[in-house]
Homo-oligomer: A and B are copies of this chain.
Amino acid sequence: MALIVQKFGGTSVGTTERIKNVAARVARTRAAGNDVVVVVSAMAGETNRLVKLAYEIDAQPIGREYDVLLASGEQVAIALLALALDRAGVPARSFLGHQISMITDTTHSRARIESVGSDVLRATLAAGHVAVVAGFQGIDKAGNITTLGRGGSDTTAVALAAALKADVCEIYTDVDGIYTADPNLVRGARKIPRISYEEMLELASLGAKVLQTRSVEFGMKYEVPIHVRSSFDESEGSWVVPEEETMEQVVVRAVTYDRSEARISVLGVPDRPGVAATVFDALADAEIVVDMIIQNASHEHGHTDLTFTVPKESAVEAVSLMEAGSARLGASEVRADTNIAKVSVVGVGMRSHSGVAAKMFRVLSGAGMNIQMITTSEIKISVVIEEAYTELAVRLLHQAFGLDVAPESAA
């Protein structure tokens, strides 16, 4: 008998019919002899409906009340799922964040989980009930309701699995696993049977939307096996697990892309201490999230170029900020380009295989693409290219690193 945490997203509970399907699935898991804790998101569309109401009242809703509002969506979902389980003959009890001591910090709308109680849930399971827990929500130490940000229910599920030392945290979604590349883009994309937390973390922060980044961090910290699988069939999905010895045999695990960013260049800034700080303080004050940053080597005359990427929707504001500050900075010009894409390859195998970057650049330049920016970590290489080449770049890299053949033969 295992203890399984199952998380179902908004689409999986989008109608009462679908909620009944989820109940049937939970019932099967339980009939197989397992203890089950279910985490659910708000019914699809519900969060958007609530957000719309808030913005009808205030374009800048205060965080505390905005979180009270949004948290109601999950409350509806847990109650309905508990009713559906009961109806299906499975005794169930729903729990809100405060009822299971899901304690977070006080950062409304993107709170971080600090601790999770397990007593109530253990007692519920011991009594033979399924526990149905509201995802996405918690309370701070003063008892105010907080929410964890988009995708936060994933983190709720993994945190509960960690607190309960569950055997697995199953994340049910509308795709059936994690792929070597976006299957909509690359015909030969394959499902990855097993992937390390570290690789998944890179993929999540590089634009793959299957799991919230923080949920993977939690999984990694507490070594919770995460099974990403389809809510529509029973097939095996992808397991996110601690790194295994054989994993390094595969050089590149997946190719990913992100078309949501814009590139800003501040040209001819004096190459002296404090310039970068000035630039990025201004952006931070405006709450603009900066992703890649590159500062070129100094020019002859003690000037340099600073290039960074920001979300496309922040590009205009970032340019104004840079232009407003350019006199003070001594910059000669500010340029923005929204027609860019970031393409990345990820794999723990890079640690032990050299020449990955060289191969990547060769493949892209061989197809006539200009590489505008490069950043690397130990297990990933990201490049910025012209947006129009995104699809071609992903396909060529997917093929070049042998991802369209099964790993046994690629290794």
Contact = CB atoms under 8 A, between A and B. Distances in A.
Interface of A: 16, 19-20, 50, 53-54, 56-58, 61-62, 64-66, 68-69, 71-73, 75-76, 78-80, 82-84, 86-87, 92-94, 96, 98-99, 143, 145
Chain A residues touching B, majority SS: helix
17 contacts: A16-B53, A16-B56, A19-B57, A20-B57, A53-B76, A54-B80, A58-B84, A58-B86, A62-B82, A62-B83, A64-B93, A66-B79, A66-B83, A69-B75, A72-B75, A75-B75, A99-B143
Contact of A58 (B62, B72, B87, B99): B87
Contacts of A73: 72
A161 to B, nearest CB: 23
Contacts of A69: 75-76, 79-80, 83
A166 B73 CA distance: 33
A29 to B, nearest CB: 19
State how many copies of this chain the complex holds: 2
A79 B94 contact: no
Nearest to A76: B72
Contacts of A92: 65
A166 to B, nearest CB: 23
Contacts of A87: 57-58
A65 B77 CA distance: 10
A269 to B, nearest CB: 40
A94 B65 contact: yes
Contacts of A83: 54, 57-58, 61-62, 65-66, 69
Nearest to A16: B56
Contacts of A72: 72-73, 75-76, 79
A181 to B, nearest CB: 39
Contact of A78 (B19, B68, B82, B94): B68
8 smallest CB-CB distances across A and B, nearest first, come from: A69-B79, A16-B56, A68-B79, A72-B75, A65-B82, A72-B72, A58-B87, A65-B79
A266 to B, nearest CB: 37
Given A56-B16, A83-B58, A98-B98, A50 B76 contact: yes
A73 B73 CA distance: 10
A16 B54 CA distance: 8
A69 B93 CA distance: 12
Contacts of A76: 50, 53, 69, 72
Given A75-B75, A76-B69, A84 B57 contact: yes
A87 to B, nearest CB: 4
Contacts of A80: 53-54, 57, 65, 69
Nearest to A139: B99
Contacts of A71: 75
Nearest to A61: B83
Given A65-B92, A66-B79, 14 more contacts: A16-B56, A19-B57, A53-B76, A54-B80, A58-B83, A62-B83, A64-B93, A65-B80, A65-B82, A65-B93, A65-B94, A72-B76, A75-B75, A96-B145
